[in-house]
Structure 1
């Protein structure tokens, strides 16, 4: 820690410190509040791939219904809003604005020093990072190229030990960053869940805890759908269309604009279903790995080339919140500069155990998401989740037998052990 404090003091009075103060004072003030969302229904009990997840949020159902009746409404009318300040600790940031980086030398803020040091190092090289991201955003052919660039030049840079992995099963995943820097991309297994829960792979995992899901992910990704015949096509033209970047898709003929718009809206809803499924499944996985996390809402980040959306879930108390709007990664539609406010928000999410408040249910009285109710008896599998490295149809039968055998032993009436054993034998 002493070395960290020493390195942090080197930034006192620097351009990076001024950039941090500017980002907190001006751009960060526009961070969105959060929806406390409730689930109407979902298919969590079916044990399907994330790409097949189906989640209906209560506020969206009511909003769509009343919109069709031409009522002037907004999603905020149908679910409780939770302010950003109620979720996140702002005092460390306020101290830096008022007193500078020297405030982090105070005993109550020393734990924040490694996180602030990582952010300042990112700011020191921000021109290089944002140039590389913009270059890839303009030219990428495959979603995995964008994922690699975002992992290498944004997300990992905001982690004190740069701990991250990109899904090793991603199609066309490059070994090095697709920009001119040629940095090595760390890959690994990013699987979440089991055959009895929502399951599949996330695009990247940060700090072994926080999933990042690419919003523009191809719906026919082969690693999740290799056993679903109807979703994989041999039509090369269709595969090429699905693999095109958002920049290229926007260049389509204007006569297809309305159809493309409708398709994009449906894709967005489906993408949201997947992010919610990943958020909830990951939260159960993390809680099983570390019981201390029961105090926190555990985040998942949905990310595209130009924006992010955030979901956070607490499986212990069944609370689910969603950022009330997309946060732009860039200062404007044609800007080549990253939005400092969004960068700081991502940084706080990655370091959520430092910057989010624990036990919020005791302070704010959240409404339950109703996931536990919707999952029914399958909630047992989420609460006892053990992530598999791969998901195959051949494993489903044996996995189901093992799990239902476990459930039977857990639920069978006491005192009948001998009779049951005799009947089985």
Structure 2
């Protein structure tokens, strides 16, 4: 209730912006220049710094509609929600690979809006597109910092780019899977809207062999599409606790994971019934979610260790599938674990979902867009600190980035499958319930 009252003025402001058509003009006039060189090379050099000079009005209207879906409740329910999670049990104090991570969990009562974490970033974007009906044309406020200008430039460039091309920038869901999906989204979405287009891909990715992956080429199928990132060592953790490889790291700041298995690995079907296959796939999805949460928590501790001067220690992990993404957050200072509702990557007609683009921009630039936890969130402690108490000093001081051994003692490997197997029925039931609760349909 308190959050609803505090944010009512902002919601009203977004609605007013979306309803205001403004004068009949083809472009939104600006006076500043853009900071980055993503413009067409054929454009005259004197015209290349154009983005803060002209932004097509239709793009700004579409951004406003997307913000409205993000900020304004729909029939009393937030479009993109955050559920605080409580860990009931986990093997974080054991020597365990991420792939063998065990996390039994449940959601706290109550939800939060995702946008409450990103008021700085949303304010920056709203100031740019805000409208004053008393003026002849829109009056906007430009960022007052270089970093603010840079991240706004990155978003606007990307929006102009996909508006001009409009050919399904992130591909077709039915033909992109696993490692290919990670590579394409890192190269065509998350790397494009981050402050740096550089990203690191797991060099151990299945299929990253001669004849399968060209180390400098994207997997999107477009000829001459080059990677702005590279393959390398993405291992993190410590062999005394959770450890292993991440799928990708965007701009050295954000973890990117796929939540669907590589279709090339598959199952040996034989005479198995549809019910048996569905049960195995459900087990795989539950196990993968536990792995992603383990990576989110470990990376958060690692980032706090690497960047003790940050304003807050809430770090995100983006989990992507063929048609939607989920964002996880963990704050190792306050022991808060959050999970977003599903965010569709594509619109109803197969085009890039603008809401997903804006959320991606907010998340990968969280260093400049995120406010950290709200006071209401700090009461929903995950319980990781107490569950990992015996190895907490390792998480706080001895985590590594790179050169982490990807093995565990044989006696630990033998004990972990039993832990996971015992937790599957309860977690599968919760997964099915959550899936029904979080299916969303967006429409303009």
Query: Shorter-normalised TM-score: what interval?
Result: 0.7 to 0.9
In the superposition, relative to structure 1, how do residues 394 and 382 fare at CA in structure 2: closer, same or farther (>3 Å)? closer
- Give distance in 2, aligned partners of 1:284 and 1:329: 29
Q: Tell me whether 1:83 sits opposite 2:113 in the alignment.
A: yes
Match of 1:267 in 2: 284
User: What do the CA deviations read for 1:328-382 (whole angstroms, capped 9, x no partner)?
Assistant: 11113xx321211111111101111222213x25464332111010012111110
- Give distance in 1, aligned partners of 2:380 and 2:111: 11
Match of 2:207 in 1: 172
Contact 1:204 1:212 in 2 (8 A): yes
How far 1:242 sits from its partner (Å)? Answer: 5.0
Query: Secondary structure of 2:249's partner?
Result: strand
TM-score by length of 1: 0.72
Q: Which residue, out of 150, 173, 189, partners 1:114?
A: 150
Q: Which residue, out of 372, 392, 395, partners 2:385?
A: 372
Contact 2:128 2:142 in 1 (8 A): no
In the superposition, relative to structure 1, how do residues 26 and 273 fare at CA in structure 2: closer, same or farther (>3 Å)? closer
Contact 1:38 1:57 in 2 (8 A): yes
In the superposition, relative to structure 1, how do residues 106 and 177 fare at CA in structure 2: closer, same or farther (>3 Å)? closer
Contact 1:45 1:375 in 2 (8 A): yes
How far 1:202 sits from its partner (Å)? Answer: 1.2
Match of 2:366 in 1: 352
- Give distance in 2, aligned partners of 1:102 and 1:8: 16
Match of 1:389 in 2: 403
How far 1:283 sits from its partner (Å)? Answer: 0.4
- Give distance in 1, aligned partners of 2:224 and 2:103: 39
Query: Secondary structure of 2:252's partner?
Result: coil
Contact 2:33 2:53 in 1 (8 A): no
TM-score by length of 2: 0.69
User: What do the CA deviations read for 1:224-249 (whole angstroms, capped 9, x no partner)?
Assistant: xxxxxxxxxxxxxxx65259xxxxxx
Query: Secondary structure of 2:130's partner?
Result: helix
How far 1:83 sits from its partner (Å)? Answer: 2.3
Q: What pairs with 1:258-407 in structure 2 (closer than 5 Å)?
A: 258-293=275-310, 295-323=312-340, 325-332=341-348, 335-358=349-372, 360=373, 362=375, 364-384=377-397, 385-393=399-407
Q: Tell me whether 1:95 sits opposite 2:131 in the alignment.
A: no
- Give distance in 1, aligned partners of 2:97 and 2:293: 13
Size of the aligned set, in residue pairs, is 344
Query: Secondary structure of 1:383's partner?
Result: helix
- Give distance in 2, aligned partners of 1:9 and 1:361: 33
- Give distance in 2, aligned partners of 1:203 and 1:129: 28
User: What do the CA deviations read for 1:162-185 (whole angstroms, capped 9, x no partner)?
Assistant: 121211221113221121143223
- Give distance in 1, aligned partners of 2:166 and 2:203: 23
Q: What pairs with 1:43-192 in structure 2 (closer than 5 Å)?
A: 43-59=91-107, 78-89=108-119, 90-99=122-131, 103-105=140-142, 107=144, 111-126=147-162, 128=165, 131-135=168-172, 137-140=173-176, 143-173=178-208, 174-175=213-214, 176-178=217-219, 179-185=221-227, 186-187=229-230, 188-192=232-236
In the superposition, relative to structure 1, how do residues 286 and 299 fare at CA in structure 2: closer, same or farther (>3 Å)? same
How far 1:16 sits from its partner (Å)? Answer: 3.5
Contact 1:34 1:321 in 2 (8 A): yes
Unaligned runs of 5+ in 1: 60-77, 220-238, 244-251, 397-425
Contact 1:212 1:300 in 2 (8 A): yes
- Give distance in 2, aligned partners of 1:28 and 1:363: 18
In the superposition, relative to structure 1, how do residues 373 and 92 fare at CA in structure 2: closer, same or farther (>3 Å)? same
Contact 2:87 2:106 in 1 (8 A): yes
Match of 2:60 in 1: 17
In the superposition, relative to structure 1, how do residues 33 and 164 fare at CA in structure 2: closer, same or farther (>3 Å)? same
- Give distance in 1, aligned partners of 2:51 and 2:312: 30
- Give distance in 1, aligned partners of 2:129 and 2:64: 5
- Give distance in 2, aligned partners of 1:132 and 1:283: 30
Query: Secondary structure of 2:168's partner?
Result: helix
In the superposition, relative to structure 1, how do residues 330 and 314 fare at CA in structure 2: closer, same or farther (>3 Å)? same
In the superposition, relative to structure 1, how do residues 189 and 3 fare at CA in structure 2: closer, same or farther (>3 Å)? farther
Contact 2:218 2:225 in 1 (8 A): yes
Contact 1:28 1:344 in 2 (8 A): no
Q: Which moves more between the two structures, 298-307 or 122-131?
A: 122-131
- Give distance in 2, aligned partners of 1:36 and 1:27: 19
- Give distance in 2, aligned partners of 1:102 and 1:315: 41
In the superposition, relative to structure 1, how do residues 11 and 203 fare at CA in structure 2: closer, same or farther (>3 Å)? farther
Contact 1:210 1:350 in 2 (8 A): yes
Contact 2:239 2:404 in 1 (8 A): no
